Structure formats: structure tokens, C-alpha cells
Amino acid sequence: MPARHWTDDELIARLYGVGPEDGHLEECGECAARWRRFAAVRERALVEPEVSQEFLIAQRRRIYERIEGPRPVFWKPALGVPIAAAAMILAALLLSGPKPSPQPTLASSDRPKDAELFADIYDTLESAELQALAPVRGLFEEKQ
């Protein structure tokens, strides 16, 4: 009994003649059955479909009609100049519009309020830290 079964990649490589040649397919029935399924799928893919001459003639006639017929126009050159001019005018208006006025800086009367706020936040954080560290600090204090 073989140590391991071949992977799908190994079976596909063998199908195209570049896979391993160690005699595994002769020894392992499961891998041989999988390889036969792969080979059958490849054979079905290689069979050329039957196409009637009438279908091919009609197809060739439609191709020639499309080549010789009028080409669809997706862009009318007459509209190109007005559209380009409108885009340029719009870009110029957007770029030359009024600039936003500068924002005033904080008045000096607001600064003490900010300092007071930051001091309150710092005190709150410091007190929360001290409460959380109290048990840990107790481990390192010398008992008298």
C-alpha cells in the first residue's frame, strides 16, 4: 500500500506528461481511478464541436456586414468643443472662488478655563492610577 495518495496537482501534471513517474498509479487503485476521471474530462474537452457549414457561412456574412456597414458614433466632434469650454469655465470658477476667512484664535479669557479643565482631568487620572496601584505598592512597602 502506498504511503500517500497523489494530489490533484500531481495527477494533472501526470496527465500532461510532466508528472512523477514512480509507478504509483499501477499500485494505487484510488489514485488510478481519479487519474482516469481526469483523463476522461480532458478527452471530452479536446473533442471539437460539430458546427454546420451553414452556421459558419452565416457567421462570416454577419462579420462582413459589420465591417462594411456604418460604424456607431459614440462621440460627436461637434459637441467636444462646447463641453471642453464648459469644463474649463467651471474649473476656473471653482478655483477662483472666495477663500474661507481665517478662524479667530481663542480669546485670552478662555485660556484659564482650558487650564482648569486640563488640571481636573490630570487630577482624575492621577487619583485613578493611585487607587489601582495601591495593592501593588503594598507588596513592596517595608513593614515595621
The 10 Å Cβ neighbour count of residue 24 is 19
Q: pLDDT tens digits, residue range 97-108?
A: 777 777 776 555
Distance (Å, rounded) from C-alpha 38 to C-alpha 11? 8
pTM: 0.36
Q: Are 120 and 112 in contact (CB under 8 A)?
A: no
Q: pLDDT tens digits, residue range 53-94?
A: 999 999 999 999 988 888 777 767 777 788 889 999 999 988
